[in-house]
Amino acid sequence: MSDSSLRLVWIYPDLLSTYGDQGNALVVERRARQRRLDVTRIDVRSDQPIPTSGDIYLIGGGEDRPQRLAAERLGRDGGLPRAVENGAIVFAVCAGYQILGHEFINDLGQRQPGLGLLDVKTVRGEGERCVGDVLGDIDPRLGLPPLTGFENHQGVTYLGPTARPLARVRLGRGNGSGDGTEGAYSDTVFGTYMHGPVLARNPLIADLLLKLALDVNALPPTDDRWYEALRNERIGAAQQPA
Ligand code: GLN
């Protein structure tokens, strides 16, 4: 970290927070404060420059048109790739995830370049939109409990050789490519299709982001009984036959 306060950057709330993904920023802030960590939240609108000195950057999902505008502006701005070069952590959801990859199909039906921060590529799914609850097993290397969330996307994402799947789905579509993968990560850059908001449903992922930002292996424990009750309810509901 550059100073004693952890800098949490929420990217483009005016374009990419359609599905309550702003809750992810609230959860990271809360999990940090529960550990008595000083955290500064910086909301960056799409007409403002992306600061390069952040520790954790969050990006949400969005409809196809705001996604195109956000990708154009992030590409022109260049701050997020510079922050990643400096070791920043990025956690992006759905449209944000697609923007981190090499390219996606925009609302005009054109192939649009992404930031190339993740070795993934998104095409337009030919089948039905992927909508519904998801339950998956997170890559064991990350040491996290099962992933739960809600997906709503038309894009289908394929992983290249340097991206690792974030999870393998037991239920739901995830990346939608038919290989059972969900999301992707590489070093400190993470992408997922999970809304929910995903960090409220999976608070230990928020803790992972904090640990990476602080470069520590563990954080002081928190009372997670409430989270666990919510998680178990969601996992139970997801497993009910429709
Ligand atoms: N517009 C993208 C898609 O449908 C992303 C949707 C989202 O962010 N939920 O694939």
Residue 198 lies in a domain: yes
Please tell me the predicted confidence (pLDDT) of residue 3: 54
129 is in an annotated binding site: yes
Please tell me the predicted confidence (pLDDT) of residue 242: 63
Residue 154 Cα to ligand 1 midpoint, Å, equals 6
Give CA–CA dist 140/216, Å, rounded.
Answer: 19
Give CA–CA dist 43/242, Å, rounded.
Answer: 38
Ligand 1 site, residue 60, Cβ cutoff 6 A: no
* Residue 4 bridge partners (DSSP): none
What total number of domains does the chain contain?
1
Domain with 89 in it: 6-238
Sheet-wide strand order for 103-105: 111-113, 103-105, 120-124, 155-159
DSSP summary character for residue 142: G
Residue with tokens 């996307």: 153
Please tell me the predicted confidence (pLDDT) of residue 20: 87
* ipTM of model: 0.95
Atom 6 in ligand 1: residue holding the nearest Cα: 153
Residue 59 Cα to ligand 1 midpoint, Å, equals 13
Residue 1 lies in a domain: no
Residue 141 lies in a domain: yes
**Which one, of 11, 6, 12, lies nearest residue 40 by Cα?**
6
Q: In degrees rounded to 5, what are phi and psi of residue 29?
A: -60, -45
Please tell me the predicted confidence (pLDDT) of residue 2: 42
Residue 138 lies in a domain: yes
Active site residue 130: no
pLDDT averaged over 10-residue windows placed end to end, the chain, 242 residues: 80 91 96 96 98 98 97 98 98 98 98 98 96 96 96 98 98 96 98 95 96 96 89 81 67
Q: Could you report how far apart the first and last alpha carbons of the chain are, in Å?
A: 46
**Which one, of 187, 176, 43, lies nearest residue 118 by Cα?**
187
Please tell me the predicted confidence (pLDDT) of residue 33: 96
Active site residue 195: yes
Residue with tokens 């992933």: 147
Residue 95 lies in a domain: yes
94 Ramachandran zone, left/alpha/beta (phi>0; psi -120 to 50)? left
118: its two tokens: 């993740």
Position 22, amino acid = Q
Please tell me the predicted confidence (pLDDT) of residue 1: 43
**Which one, of 82, 63, 61, lies nearest residue 197 by Cα?**
61
Could you tell me the CATH number of the domain that includes residue 211? 3.40.50.880
Q: Which atom of ligand 1 is the closest one to the Cα of 19?
A: 9
